Amino acid sequence: MRVRILFAVTVAACLAAAPAALAAGQNPQTAGLQVALRAQGLYRGPIDAISGPDTVAALRAFQRIHGLPATGLADPRTRAAMGPLGGPLFGARTLRRGAFGWDVAVLQFLLVRQGISVPVNAYFDGPTLHGVLLMQRRLHLRHDGVVGPHTFTAIVRRDHVPLARQVVVKKVKKAHGAKQVKRVKKAHHHKRRTLTAVHVVRAGETLSSIARHYGTTVAKLARRNHLDPAQFLLIGTRLRVPHVHHVKATRVADRTVSVASVRSLLDHWARHYGVSIHLVRALAWMESGYNNALVSSAGARGIMQLLPTTFRFAEGVLIGHHLRHDANGNVRAGVAYLSHLLHDFHGDKRLALAGWYQGEAAVRKHGVYRVSRQFAKDVLALQHRM
């Protein structure tokens, strides 16, 4: 049975293609755009579905790199250039485990916004499946883990996602095309004066790290959100970030070099240690989304999400000298450790990834845990898309 909501997404395309028009609030479709831009190494801000100056600037940078008009609008040509992460838009297909793309990132964002902790990595993995099941139970739906017509309908009733009838498309484009560009320019122009955002707390984040990211103070952030700075933040909590004045302008090129270098580092050290580039990229993406600032609740850090003990083992035993605790050091230590695991497990990627996830000694003593088996399966599936 077809439900209109699944196939009436043409205006959603228009709205996703015009993020500046929704800059005053959240458009969940924009979360898919932000994840796609982050994978390209052009955006390192929060996945908040707010099309602010950083998102627009990153999108324009992507368009310039690919020889497209730098409009700051995620039109079909731009999304096509983004590859698998450029589509489909949320609502265009049924989602189930193993799906990969823009719409999965939007689904994950919506789950996080409802306080359900899942990674926002555009891959419908095990944690995302559990999140969907939990959401379906909350909404009193058949909990089959499949985001089909009934689940889509319930989601859109609860969280507004732009979906409308096709008949409106040409009018919307004609009426708003010029205004969208003006609003983008206006948002970018005011970047130095004010910044307003809603931040969704992710694993490992603290009030101090969030305050530092937005250029405000812990006291202001806590006061604005009625929080006790001494208490832990819950993953998925939505924080209102205070107005920030005199924010120092950052050229997109500067941020692009810093973030885009992550992929270059992964490729460089993968070649150095003779490990599949695609495997390294997939592992890093699953672990951190290429975010070197990420710190997990267990203390794992950086792009490769290494525990301090693993980092010390890599630099002291596998590499033989101290490494800097920066992106390069984190990636090198992680790839060296992955190479070590592949060697010890005679090239078996599944066992090596299980060793990465649960520890090499635990794999040899107890075998592959169920959760490790799923982690390895997800990484191996994702490597073919990286």
Catalytic center residues: 287
Helix (H) and strand (E) counts in the chain: 18, 2
The amino acid occupying position 355 is G
Q: Tokens 């209109």 correspond to what residue?
A: 4
CB pairs under 8 A, 24+ apart, for 260-265?
260/40, 260/41, 260/42, 261/41, 261/327, 262/41, 262/290, 262/292, 262/303, 262/327, 262/331, 263/41, 263/290, 265/303, 265/327, 265/328, 265/331, 265/332
SS3 content of the chain, % helix, strand, coil (to 5): 60, 5, 40
Identify whether the C-beta of residue 44 lies closer than 8 Å to the C-beta of residue 198. no
- Who's near 210: CB < 8 A, 6+ residues apart? 199, 201, 221, 239, 241
Least Cα distance to 94 among 131, 144, 149 occurs for: 149
C-alpha dihedral sign at 71, 72, 74, 79: positive
Distance CA 341, CA 336 (A): 9
